[in-house]
Amino acid sequence: MTDTSDRLQEALAALDAEPGLWMPEPGERVAGEVVGFATFTTRYGEKRTVVLEDLDSGQRLSIRLDYAVLQQEVERRDPQLGDMLVVRRNDDQQGPRGRYRHYSVAVVPADVAQGQAQ
């Protein structure tokens, strides 16, 4: 199998394995390799989730993009399979329409991450 085919199989397996749900408190972060994407349905419509293999635990975790700031930050950085994704939940912020969850997001592209590992 080619490397691309292997990675596709890993991504599909990640989605089938029902990863744990990342539910952070302010100040917590997660970092890992993006191994898949999925969608889920809420009363507000379909939302995306990013599946990571957590660097600390090796577990597969699902990051549900069901908060506007988190969704915008992830979409703006456009992580791809194999990229390293770091997400931190910051302290909640006060906005014009009330309090909201605030997140910071960073992406290291797969080719850069692999070059650092060598």
Angle subtended at Cα 19 by Cα 16 and Cα 20, rounded to the nearest 5 degrees: 155
Q: For residue range 25-66, what is the model confidence (pLDDT) as tens digits?
A: 999 999 999 999 998 888 888 989 999 999 999 999 999 998
Q: Which domains does the chain have, with CATH numbers?
A: 3-117 (2.40.50)
Tokens representing residue 41 in the block: 């349905």
Residue whose tokens read 């080719």: 111
Give per-residue burial for 66-84: e unless 16+ CB within 10 Å, then b: eeebbeebbeeeebebbbb
Query: What is the pLDDT at residue 20?
Result: 87
Query: What is the pLDDT at residue 9?
Result: 77
